[in-house]
Amino acid sequence: MQSSNDVSAKLNKPVLKEGSTGDAVKELQQLLKKHNTYTGAIDGEFGPATKKGVIAFQHRVFLKEDGIVTDSTWRALFKGAPVDMPILKKGSKGDLVKTVQNILKSSKDYNGAIDGEFGSKLEHAVKDLQERTKLPHDGIVEDRTWFELSKIAH
């Protein structure tokens, strides 16, 4: 039995996009305000400002930046953190590794190449971030480290 605060469970929230209206949009706008990505009115009208707020939030938590609020965006809004992110560690490759490299370069933790290869320099940079944020510093990017990365402007 899943607890009601288990954000990995599906939320049963409607898909919202520009043009949507109603109480679910008001709830969305309140959540976006809470996460400082929306400054408009809580009016239940999903217009351009709400879409811009959704995209800014999606960017922060590493979701597809399309302005459409699907289950993963709802879950991230309620959690206040990235959801469904893979574990990255030394030897990992790909675009998400580039994302981590770029964020840690912007925070001056990483000075290596942005090449999508999770090597020793990136592992060291992740450990530095983890130590600074009071996480176990194992150099592995998992949920808590993704959350800390999402707090760094990127």
**Average pLDDT of the residues of the chain:** 94
Q: In the prediction, which pLDDT does 7 show?
A: 47
List, as one string, the DSSP characters of 85-113: PPPB-TT-BSHHHHHHHHHHHHTTS--S-
Residues in the chain: 154
Same domain? For 70 and 99 the reply is: no
Q: What is d(CA 47, CA 53) in angstroms, rounded to the nearest whole number?
A: 10
The span from the CA of 100 to the CA of 152, in Å, is 11
Which two structure tokens, joined as six digits, stand for 64? 């597809």
Predicted local distance difference test score (pLDDT) of residue 3: 38
Shared-domain flag, residues 40 and 15: yes
| 90 domain residue, yes or no | no
The reported pLDDT for the residue numbered 10 is 74
Query: Which residues have a Cβ under 8 Å from the Cβ of 147 and sit 6 or more positions away?
Result: 81, 82
pLDDT by 10s per residue, the chain, length 154: 333 444 456 778 999 999 999 999 999 999 999 999 999 999 999 999 999 999 999 999 999 999 999 999 999 999 999 999 999 999 999 999 999 999 999 999 999 999 999 999 999 999 999 999 999 999 999 999 999 999 998 8
25: domain CATH number is 1.10.101.10
In this structure, the answer to whether residues 80 and 13 fall within a common structural domain is yes
Partners of 141 in the β-ladder: 88
Block residue for tokens 């370069």: 105
pLDDT of residue 68: 98
Domain range enclosing 44:
1-84
pLDDT digits (tens, 9 = 90+) for 32-43: 999 999 999 999
